[in-house]
Amino acid sequence: MKKRYITQGFIPNWKIDNGRIFITVLISILFSFLLSSCDNDEDIVIEMGNPVQLSASKAEVELNQKNANSTAVEFTWTPGSNEGTGAAIYYTIQLDKEGNNFSTPKTIELGKAVFSKKYTTAELNNILLSDWGITPGNSLVVESRVIAVTSSEDVVPDTSNLVSFSVLPYKPVSSTLYMVGDATPNGWDNFIATSLQADPDDPTTFIYEGSLKAGELKFITQLGEWLPSYQKGEDEQHIVLRTDDSQPDKKFSIAESGVYKITLNLLDLNISFEKLDQSPYDELWIVGDATPNGWNIDNPNQIVQDPTDSFIFTYNEFLNAGEFKFPTSTGDWGTDFYMPLTNYPDLSETTVQLVSGGNPDYKWKITDAGPYKIKLNLRDPSISIKAFVPYAMIWMVGDATPAGWDIDNPVEMVPDASDPNVFTYTGALSAGEFKFPTSTGDWGTDFFMPAENHPELTDTRMKFIPGGSPDNKWEITSAGNYTITINQFYETISIVKN
């Protein structure tokens, strides 16, 4: 046999106990390997891994706040070596300014089995500006390294090669934005200004979607502080940063109340206003001595929003002789109100205005007490106030009813002897549809229908539909005997299977 040798990568431990020597199984394997390869002259090397090697995804990085949440640079490294001890390896990455020799590095301990680290644009920019005091717009060369430390004291910590890259930081715009003005929900009080939301994909873009009134507005960056602010720029599509009281205080104007979407970007300095087809309020109330709850602003009577048109609110009730108006919130006489354009207009007058703070204090006046149906339309805005005269007879038509779709001879509902508004049907219904005409022989008559087609039979809402369009109906899916009770004044229905 020719002379063989092992290029040593590892020296096994020997254990001595009372003169006896125990050699690990590894030695036996090595000698067996030597005997079986005695005809080869090559060196036998036991690999224990290479030192940790670091690399970066970029050599030059220009940071832009629009990409604040995106990856600016990613570092990756090889596992390194534990020199055959089987000990876990823990990794730490360090960044420092070139030439600082890592005397005051930015250090992140990553733990074990981690072989990469991503720095977002915002994270890296913050290190340069806040930790190292670099002036925005000035490029800096940054050095990086990874330190690998094993859990065995017998293995010396390993430090990777240095990787350098240049970074150009930016001056960040505000991370918060608010709007103030008599067009906004909270007025000119800059301590409770209305906030805008930052776009999660671009933190330099801010969005507001909600109610605005006719009036003016501008934008501030901090609650309670008028400066810095963003004002109207060269036109309605641009904003300008205002940092001093000597600069022009131009504001945006909202011509018409409604729901708007505002989108603006603090880097591009552009802005857009989009009026949405959405009601400015989802809740409204009625207050005044004409109403059941009187002048109790803490607990006024609520009016009902139409489920199919968010701009429409209705109120069907017995009204006293007296006044009323519509507050947009409760508990505050200084809230905004929907009012007539003049005090005590004729009830046939349909014009309405939204008054900020409730001044001037105009109201509608009921002179003849009785049942009224009021419909307030915020889209126009407009109002309909009509004394209600109940129908003396109401019918039931549809293939669920005994008369089917015979409009000339529909099923008569039974009027309640004590309440002219209430009608009842008790009897058999087939699987099918039905609705309630207010006269016979004419499909173009007015109907009482559900607000939406085929609602759940537990839904108590009913709606008066002039002309019967849209043509919604109730649907019976299980034939049987039913009791149906409707109230034409309050526009409610009860459907109970007996």
Mean pLDDT by 10 residues, the chain (498 residues): 34 39 40 44 52 94 90 95 90 95 94 94 92 92 95 91 95 95 92 93 93 94 97 96 96 92 96 92 97 98 93 97 98 96 97 92 98 95 97 98 97 97 98 98 96 94 93 96 98 97
Distance CA(25)–CA(20), nearest Å, equals 16
Cα gap 256→185, rounded to integer Å: 14
pLDDT of residue 10: 38
In Å, how far are 136, 282, 322 from 295, measured between CA atoms?
60, 22, 11
In this predicted model, what pLDDT tens digit does every residue of 113-165 receive, in sequence order?
999 999 999 899 999 999 999 999 999 999 999 999 999 988 999 999 999 99
SS3 67: helix
Q: Is 253 exposed, middle or buried (0-12, 13-18, 19+ CB in 10 A)?
A: middle
Task: Return the pLDDT at 86.
Answer: 87
Is the domain covering 54-168 a CATH 2.60.40.790 domain? no
pTM of the model: 0.57
CATH class of the domain whose range is 395-497? mainly beta
Which amino acid, residue 332? D
Express each pLDDT in 311-366 by its tens digit: 999 999 999 999 999 999 999 999 999 999 999 999 999 999 999 888 999 999 99
CATH class of 284-387: mainly beta
> If residue 26 lies in a helix (H) or strand (E), which one and from where to where?
helix 25-36
Instruction: In the chain, list all ranges with CATH 2.60.40.3620.
Output: 178-276, 284-387, 395-497
- The residue behind tokens 């104007």 is 253
The answer to whether residues 165 and 59 touch, using CB atoms and an 8 Å cutoff, is: yes
| pLDDT value, residue 7 | 36
Instruction: Give the model's pLDDT for residue 363.
Output: 98
Contact between 318 and 370 (Cβ < 8 Å): yes
Q: Is 120 exposed, middle or buried (0-12, 13-18, 19+ CB in 10 A)?
A: middle
pLDDT tens track for 330-340: 999 999 999 99
CA distances from 263 to 36, 212, 220 (A): 77, 14, 15
Range list for CATH 2.60.40.10 in the chain: 54-168
Report pLDDT for 48. 57
Distance CA 262, CA 206 (A): 8
Dist. CA 245–CA 444, nearest whole Å: 65
132 close to 113: Cβ distance less than 8 angstroms: no
Concatenated DSSP letters of 264-310: EETTTTEEEEEEESS-S-S-EEEBSTTSTTTT-TTSPEEEEEETTEE
The CATH fold assigned to 178-276 is Immunoglobulin-like (2.60.40)
